Chains A and B, each alone.
Chain A
Amino acid sequence: MSVSQSETAQIQDSEDIVRLRQRVRDVMKNEGFSLVDQTKMVTAASELARNTLIYGGGGTVILDILKSQVGRVGLRLFFEDHGPGIADIDQALKDGFTTGVGLGLGLGGSKRLVNEFVIDSGPDAGTRITITRWR
């Protein structure tokens, strides 16, 4: 597996979320992802970017295009914030769990929309989430 293209973006306000959505969609369109794949990944990106903004107090996202050895193309997004972090990750992944203003579908819902979902967080440790969708 190799990274064929990589870029970093800031998530500091709600317009950054819109920009990220557009960027993810453009990249996936270029790489030939199906419309449903595009929509799922863009939606997951939107959810996680909003989490980064609201709960993490802003952060960064790294967007990587992956090429696997067998020629599969994937898009990987890495969200990172230095906010308060998540104490109980299992609970946070359950539908309906929220400490804030959302519907509590952000984490669990995003996980269902992507092929791979990795979360790393802890109290006062910030949050790092990696999602990948393969074509």
Chain B
Amino acid sequence: MDTIPILQLDDFLLISIQVEMHDRLALQLQDELTERVVKTKAKGVLIDISSVETVDSFMGRMLGNIALMTQLLGAETVVAGIRPAVAITIVELGLSLPNVRTALNVNSGMAMLRQLAGTSVGGNGHERQPE
């Protein structure tokens, strides 16, 4: 049975989806993740989908749900590494993922989460300076 490991890094949870997602696995991930957010009092969740080749409306809905649920529990969710072909397909399909924040890769995703959580990370040149 496939499972998707949830890693903890400081105040953040990190998930990297490396397997072909089937519907049951997606629902299982949703359950486990919300539990872990509560248990660890995480301030943010990063989901790396750079290995995912297909995002259909079911998977899109799952990502949107996770973002909304974690938000209710006080943690922001960032989805990192959507591939170009997948991004084009999502747009054509008509999925808008309105609640989901996205980042180019795990690195910029983590930077975004830290910023959202108000943790100072020092200037890496990509951060917006206070006005």
Contact = CB atoms under 8 A, between A and B. Distances in A.
B78 to A, nearest CB: 21
A25 B52 CA distance: 13
Contact of B92 (A18, A35, A40, A42): A40
Interface in B1-51: 20-24
Interface residues of B, number: 23
Contact of B57 (A14, A47, A112): A47
B22 A113 contact: no
A62 B108 CA distance: 43
A112 B93 contact: yes
Interface residues of A, number: 27
B56 A46 contact: yes
B54 A39 contact: yes
A32 B61 CA distance: 31
Interface of A: 14-15, 17-18, 21-22, 25, 35-36, 38-40, 42-43, 46-47, 50, 95, 102-103, 105-106, 108-110, 112-113
Contact of B89 (A25, A43, A102): A43
Contact of A14 (B24, B55, B89): B24
B88 interface: yes
B25 to A, nearest CB: 9
